[in-house]
Amino acid sequence: MTLQYKFFSIPVTREQEGEEELNAFLRRVRLINIYREMVCQEGRYYWAITAEYTTDSEKDARRGELARRKIDYKEEMTPENFAVFARLRDWRKETAQKEAVQLYTIFMNEQLAAMVEKRVTTKKGLLEIEGVGQGKLEKYGEAVLAILNEAFTGQDNRKDEADQESLSPSGER
């Protein structure tokens, strides 16, 4: 949020013309604070007003971008993939409630969908999903991989752990 300032001089004798400009401005912005003082200069009285505001344009732009990118995953995915995606969302919802956090702090829908579409079944595969780092892998990897492995291979994620242990630091066997 970027704070901005706008200054107004409203003559006491012709208040209406200044009021209209001020009110129109205030309808367009989110007011943070207002400073006002009665000033007398060369025998003329006027209000000196400073408006501290933000337009929230950055926030609105991000919100608009998210709204444009909103995807109906049920329409975009095969029924089989959507079933796995729905199981991941249910797990995420339960986890978020237990941890008292927002859903997106665990994984975003885009990340869950990518896991399903790419048929991720390994820790290495999870790390290839944008926004999934070592912290999320350590915290949620086992649970997510259990769901994905059960769906795609009929196994749990213990096979992945054995695979990871046999990998050299360069990722080769």
Please report the pLDDT score of residue 117 as a whole number: 94
Please report the pLDDT score of residue 124 as a whole number: 95
Per the CB < 8 A criterion, the answer to whether 46 and 9 are in contact is yes
d(CA 166, CA 172): 9
Helices (H) and strands (E) in the chain, counts: 9, 3
One digit per residue, the tens of pLDDT, for the chain of length 173 reads 577 899 998 888 876 777 888 888 888 888 888 899 999 989 889 889 999 888 765 555 555 555 556 788 888 899 999 999 999 999 999 999 999 988 888 999 999 999 999 999 999 999 999 889 999 999 999 999 999 999 988 755 444 444 444 444 444 44
d(CA 88, CA 140): 11
Per the CB < 8 A criterion, the answer to whether 47 and 9 are in contact is yes
Cα torsion through 39, 45, 47, 48, rounded to 10: -40
Q: Provide the whole-model pTM.
A: 0.52
Per the CB < 8 A criterion, the answer to whether 90 and 37 are in contact is no
Per the CB < 8 A criterion, the answer to whether 14 and 57 are in contact is no
Closest CA to 134 of 144, 123, 145: 123
